[in-house]
Amino acid sequence: MTHLGPSKAARLAKVFGVLKDLVASLPTAEEKQRTTESLTVLVEFLKEIQAHLDLIPTIEDTRSLTVALERLDSFLSKAEANPVLARAIGIEKPKPRPVQAVRPLPDPVRLQTIITELASFTIDQVRERLVSEDRYGLSDLRALAQKLGIRVQQRTARQALVGQIVTKLANTRGYQALSSTSDSNGPSR
């Protein structure tokens, strides 16, 4: 039997240590099975992607489609130029909509007069006055609502507009009354 020198013994011990580590890091049967299943799922996914890629047409496959689209575009251009043909295939140009009349801006002097006049009445009296069509026109109500910060829709009915204005005035007066009473009571804690 030969005696191994210190360097050979150390190298041999190192090799055995590496082999032990290698054996210890081998997967269990369960780990190996899960890894195989994962790889199978991945392979199936890649095959599915490949199948979808095969379904995508190429430029060569669509040459006839490109020619057909160009012919259709040329035909539609001719049809637009010919009113009879356009009407026959249903592509006639829509008739222009009539331009809506622009509402004149409210007279600021009249608007201020209305605001001043309404300030001296109770909320019920304000409602009665605003409902009266002979006193205030719809344009006056819209201008008043806009001045009070109320969003006015084009088709808002007179009664709805009066209700919004009266509510806004009542709320404003209520806030002012609360503010003046809290100011007169002194600072609150």
In the prediction, which pLDDT does 30 show?
93
Sign of the CA dihedral with 127 first, then 133, 137, and 142 last: positive
The pLDDT value recorded for residue 186 is 59
Residue 189 pLDDT: 47
Confidence (pTM)? 0.43
List the domain boundaries for the chain. 31-96, 108-184
Q: Are 39 and 47 in contact (CB under 8 A)?
A: no
- Per-residue confidence (pLDDT) for residue 164, from 0 to 100: 92
Query: 10-residue block means of pLDDT along the chain (189 residues)?
Result: 69 88 88 92 92 86 85 86 82 70 70 86 89 82 87 84 91 86 63
The pLDDT value given to residue 65: 83
**Cα separation of 53 and 46, whole Å?**
10
pLDDT of residue 38: 92
pLDDT reported for residue 66: 85
Contacts 24+ apart (CB under 8 A), 129-135: 130/162, 130/165, 130/166, 131/158, 131/159, 131/162, 133/158
